[in-house]
Structure 1
Amino acid sequence: MAGRRDLNREPCPDRILDDMGGAFGMGALGGFLWHFAKGWRNSPKYEKFNGAMFSGTLKSPAVGSAFATWGGIFCAFDCTLAYARGGKEDSWNPVLAGAATGGVLSMRSGWKSCARNAVVGGVLLGIIEVVQIMFLRGTPTITPRKQFQQMKEYEEMQQRQAQAGSSPSLWSRLLPAAPAAVPQSQPATELLHDSATLR
């Protein structure tokens, strides 16, 4: 699988807490909506909203905690694999981390369940990584090298303007540069006059 590193994410080990918080928020929101709908459906006719709110607020923290547990263990395995492979971060790390997470979370159910959930976790993360790679290939992205080149060109332009004694104004930074003037061709009468004088 193709190697890549997401520069928008926090570095390890700070990434673990970041992913745990994001997973908790996503699980709590999704759990609230899910149990709100179930509470609305199972409540009496004139108590649907109260029953839905009670069900959603009661069970959403448990769903968020389960998501946070999964996200923390997954990210811990991901950072461990990246460290064990010499800082290499590619698509194999999430796949192996997903398999390890699925196996660890189901160890209490026996080895068969542990192996089955490990395979399921690895396959799911593999599908997610393949979809992500296909999406990134279909969209134009600015690589860190291109970003560095753009920053270097901008710094060189500022140095040239500073040496020339002029600093770029706000409008020159926001507005695009004006196109260069196109030289107009001489009229036919002037060309005839020039040819006559040469003779």
Structure 2
Amino acid sequence: MVWYGQCIPRHAFLLWLVLKNKLKTQDRLAVWEAGSETNLRLMCCPLCNYGRDSRDHLFFQCSFSAKVWNIVKKRTDLRYVSGYWSSIMGWIEQNTSSKALDHIVSKLVLAAATYFIWKERNNRLFSNIRSKEEMVAQYILDTVRLRIMGFKIGRDVNSRKLLEMWEIKEDDPG
């Protein structure tokens, strides 16, 4: 799922960490924290300021991530995948070895979404820089669109539909 020819390596690496639940989220760091109950209560999601900063909350369930996810998944085969980790994992397990163009693009979007949501989380925690959901979604869409532009794509109907969906013009043969 993570490592395939068309992946973006830094996105794939972060997605690999997400799948293994190895990101240094606040809930995992709390195990090492010998601090007080007050410190544990302060550890909330920096994106929505509500839920616990954990993998399951951070990726796609917090209100910020859910909005980003709902914007970007419209251009993929992930349209009908809910924002629950189990639903996302089910799609991953079904399509891990698929070489279909729409599945490759969906994998790119999933990896880019985790990458840019994690980046936004870190920007808010460590740099006090905040972006709106629409801006993060646009980073994801722009990155995936640029990656698709580097593909060698056939001229079949499904390929044309995908290019149209991503607003990519086919090269003129003449």
TM-score, normalising length from structure 1?
Answer: 0.24
* More helix as a share of residues: 1
Structure with bigger gyration radius = 1
TM (norm. structure 2) is: 0.26
